[in-house]
A and B are shown apart, each in its own frame.
Chain A
Amino acid sequence: MGTSYKYKRDASRLFIAVRDNGKRYKIYIPRESNPVIDGNEKEIDFIEQDDFQYTFNFNDKQFYCELVSRDQNKAVVIVNGVEYKFSLESIFSYVRRGMISTGDDKSSANNIVAPMPGKIIEICLHEGDLVNAGEPVLTLEAMKMQNEITADCDGVIQKIRVNEGQSVMKDELLVEIQSIDV
């Protein structure tokens, strides 16, 4: 079931590439399968790779890339003869530097609170994991019924405040999620 989600746990594979003109790309490079760019999986194939050179196939076209320079987190890439400049951030440093809007109301809206009193049966994810909107984060048992509690945004699990087997009250904060909708 988990395989149908575009983000596959490992948040350290999620990056933000910001062009010198301010345009931003959110790029997730999974272990397997295609990259996810701005939330959409793209059919991009690797054709060839050499030192500082990549060739991709995308939309039935070849893209010849040359990595021209690299200074700290800044990179200059030539694609089909045209130069593009990017600065790159991991999602963590991006969050840390406050570059994702973390207006309190907004970020707390993404947190998961207990919708009813009950007992935590299972926690599906770990801190630092990537979670997809609609993906179950934990199972809460109340009145002999097991309820899957899902994330309501694509995000990173910042902090898990409960343990499996623990009983919780209604409205208790269970999991803090940092949205990655930039």
Chain B
Amino acid sequence: MFKVTNNMIKKRLLIANRSEIAIRIIRSAHKLGMYAIVFRSDKEQDALYLKFADEIIDAKDADDEKPIFLNQQKIVDFAVQHNIDLIHPGYGFLSENPDFAALCIANNINFIGPSPELIRDMGLKTVAKHMAVEAGLPLVPGSEGPIANAQDAKEFADKIGYPVILKASAGGGGRGMRIVEKPETIERNFKAAYDEALAAFGNGDIFIEKYLQNPKHLEFQILGDKHGNVIHLGERECSLQRKHQKIIEEAPSASVTSKMREEMGAMAVRFAQKIGYYSAGTIEYIMDEDGSYYFMEMNTRIQVEHPVTEMITGVDLVDWQIKIALDEKLTLKQEDIKINGWAIECRVNTEDPQNRFSPQTGFIDKINFPQNSSVRLETGFLSGSIVTPYFDSMIAKIIVHGTDREDVINKTLNALYNFNIIGLKTTVPFCIAVLKHPDFINATYTTRWVDKVYTPDMLENEDDEVIAALAATIMYASEYLQLQGDIPAYKNDALNVWVLNKRLNY
């Protein structure tokens, strides 16, 4: 089924990314007979991904304002110097930057992704929505373009009804975003969102739409080639988010029937075909409590959560991204795509779920990953690695495959119980709490779950607490008992922790 052609062999593929996704791309590059080349950033000199590459380019970015992965000109200059054929941008960083894609192409480097024009169009939400409407996709009721001023915002909101959400056209990550519950506050919120958007993105365009109270986030994976063939690979549900960022994803979604899957998938394919999309891409939908769904946006990159789709379809999305970039024809037909079982991905971020997910940086003393045939682990870290403040906090993804949803939930919990890390706090206990919660088990969770339902005491359990009390006591006792040696009233051995431990172990 899989052919390595002369067209691929010994091509030089540069990865403009780091950590687990760099390793993931190296795997595909090697499978296709290519050389994988990566950057060594001075901000993360001993990163694990460096060990997997065939060649390393020293980025010398210690004195640069931004790390190499964000420095378009420098990446392309290095690429030219090192005779690079293709650049894979991964996710984040420059993966959805149309200027970077164009710069690559202008320097005769094959950018792995869609055309710069489409990256630009999809990045501008109002443009993307306009194109979606033309392809017949439903949109959340809202303004067709940017709203001119606070007064217009109020008039529009009065028409579609509250609550409404104000969003920056160029926005992302929650910036330039405001939820407005009542008419009295809309003007003030509009000004705030405008200022924030202008400061963050250099573009103050704000649009307005109806705010869904308890939505689900669904997205369809598509693959398209440069010959007009497009298929979809089913949906992922990514409703479990904190701070508007996904933390647990599953595929398929329990909220999508096979009829809906066909309908939504066909819509996604139609859209991609109409705009002439190629490479891997994702059509995001938001689904209301009554099951009605609306187009949100299109992501033009490989996504963090792509493995859940790979697990249930058996299709290697990164392989296809590379092959498509080399003009290969998509040989998969829609009817070849069969959904097999269920998959869940848990993101392991070095964040403190007991303290508003505040990021943790520093040294990982020890890390033990679950190892099991149903577990796929993607990580760029190991014992002794350092989590720097320069990059994001995701250190690993645990992806688990099961025969059905119940099976995969149990297997994922089991994998998480067998994961342990000493040195930094992570989202693992949070993922355990989610997977055990009835809202997840019943698949009724929404994107508001963390804000509305989650409390840090869900992370605790009685056995852990007892053990914590014991560990704290042993630590205290070892010192206390030594001190007591000086007090004549009580006769004691001077004990150290080790001796105490041995005795406990008796």
Residues of A within 8 A of B (CB): 10-13, 15, 17, 19, 23, 25, 27, 29-35, 37, 42, 44-46, 49, 52-54, 56, 58-59, 61-67, 70, 73, 75, 77-84, 86, 88, 90, 128
Contact B429 A80 (CB under 8 A): yes
Residues of B within 8 A of A (CB): 352, 354, 365-366, 417, 420-423, 425-426, 428-429, 459-460, 463-477, 480-481, 484, 489-490, 492, 497-498, 500-501, 503-506
Could you give 24 example pairs across A and B, Cβ below 8 Å? A12-B490, A12-B492, A13-B481, A15-B476, A17-B469, A17-B473, A27-B469, A29-B473, A29-B477, A30-B503, A32-B503, A33-B506, A46-B501, A49-B498, A54-B471, A56-B467, A56-B470, A59-B463, A75-B475, A81-B420, A81-B426, A82-B460, A82-B464, A84-B468
Contact A75 B354 (CB under 8 A): no
**Residues of A with C-beta under 8 A to B365:** 53
Q: What's the Cα separation between A23 and B480 when bound, in Å? A: 22
Q: What's the Cα separation between A167 and B465 when bound, in Å? A: 50
**Residues of B with C-beta under 8 A to A23:** 465
| A29 closest partner in B (C-beta) | B477
Closest Cβ–Cβ distance, residue B74 to chain A (whole Å):
38
Contact B467 A73 (CB under 8 A): no
A82-B459, A82-B464 known; A45 vs B471 contact (CB < 8 Å)? no
Q: What's the Cα separation between A118 and B98 when bound, in Å? A: 100
Closest Cβ–Cβ distance, residue B437 to chain A (whole Å):
16
A31-B503, A61-B463 known; A86 vs B469 contact (CB < 8 Å)? yes
| A38 closest partner in B (C-beta) | B466
Q: What's the Cα separation between A83 and B355 when bound, in Å? A: 10
Contact of B470 among A35, A53, A128 (CB under 8 A): A35
Contact of A46 among B469, B481, B505 (CB under 8 A): B505
Contact B490 A78 (CB under 8 A): no
**Residues of B with C-beta under 8 A to A66:** 422-423
A35-B504, A45-B505, A67-B471 known; A15 vs B464 contact (CB < 8 Å)? no
Contact of B463 among A19, A49, A58, A77 (CB under 8 A): A58
| B427 closest partner in A (C-beta) | A81
**Residues of B with C-beta under 8 A to A65:** 467-468, 471
Q: A44-B467, A65-B467, A88-B472 are in contact. List 19 more A-B contacts (CB 8 A).
A: A12-B492, A13-B477, A15-B473, A15-B476, A15-B480, A25-B470, A37-B466, A58-B466, A59-B463, A66-B423, A70-B475, A75-B475, A79-B468, A79-B471, A80-B417, A80-B420, A81-B428, A88-B476, A128-B489
Contact of A37 among B429, B469, B480 (CB under 8 A): B469
Choose among A25, A45, A82 the residue with the greatest number of B CB atoms under 10 Å from its CB. Answer: A82
- Name the prevailing secondary structure of the B interface residues: helix
**Residues of A with C-beta under 8 A to B465:** 19, 23, 79, 84
A65-B471, A86-B468 known; A46 vs B429 contact (CB < 8 Å)? no
Closest Cβ–Cβ distance, residue B414 to chain A (whole Å):
11
Contact of B467 among A11, A63, A70 (CB under 8 A): A63
Q: What's the Cα separation between A44 and B504 when bound, in Å? A: 8
Contact A81 B429 (CB under 8 A): yes
**Residues of B with C-beta under 8 A to A58:** 463, 466-467
Q: What's the Cα separation between A45 and B504 when bound, in Å? A: 7
Q: What's the Cα separation between A64 and B420 when bound, in Å? A: 7
Closest Cβ–Cβ distance, residue B383 to chain A (whole Å):
12
**Residues of A with C-beta under 8 A to B422:** 53, 64, 66
A35-B470, A37-B470, A61-B417 known; A82 vs B354 contact (CB < 8 Å)? yes
**Residues of A with C-beta under 8 A to B366:** 53
| B422 closest partner in A (C-beta) | A66
A81-B428, A86-B468, A128-B489 known; A12 vs B481 contact (CB < 8 Å)? yes
Contact A83 B425 (CB under 8 A): yes
Closest Cβ–Cβ distance, residue A36 to chain B (whole Å):
11
Q: What's the Cα separation between A13 and B466 when bound, in Å? A: 17
**Residues of A with C-beta under 8 A to B472:** 17, 67, 75, 77, 84, 86, 88
| A54 closest partner in B (C-beta) | B471
Contact A128 B469 (CB under 8 A): no
Closest Cβ–Cβ distance, residue B477 to chain A (whole Å):
6
Closest Cβ–Cβ distance, residue B369 to chain A (whole Å):
13
A17-B469, A80-B464 known; A49 vs B420 contact (CB < 8 Å)? no
A44-B470, A78-B425, A82-B354 known; A29 vs B500 contact (CB < 8 Å)? yes
Closest Cβ–Cβ distance, residue A5 to chain B (whole Å):
17
**Residues of B with C-beta under 8 A to A49:** 497-498, 501
**Residues of B with C-beta under 8 A to A78:** 425
List the 4 closest A-B pairs by CB distance, nearest first.
A84-B468, A75-B472, A25-B469, A88-B476
Contact B505 A63 (CB under 8 A): no
**Residues of A with C-beta under 8 A to B473:** 15, 17, 25, 27, 29, 86, 88
Q: What's the Cα separation between A78 and B460 when bound, in Å? A: 11
| B352 closest partner in A (C-beta) | A83
**Residues of B with C-beta under 8 A to A29:** 473-474, 477, 500, 504
Contact B500 A63 (CB under 8 A): no
Q: What's the Cα separation between A171 and B239 when bound, in Å? A: 73
| A67 closest partner in B (C-beta) | B475
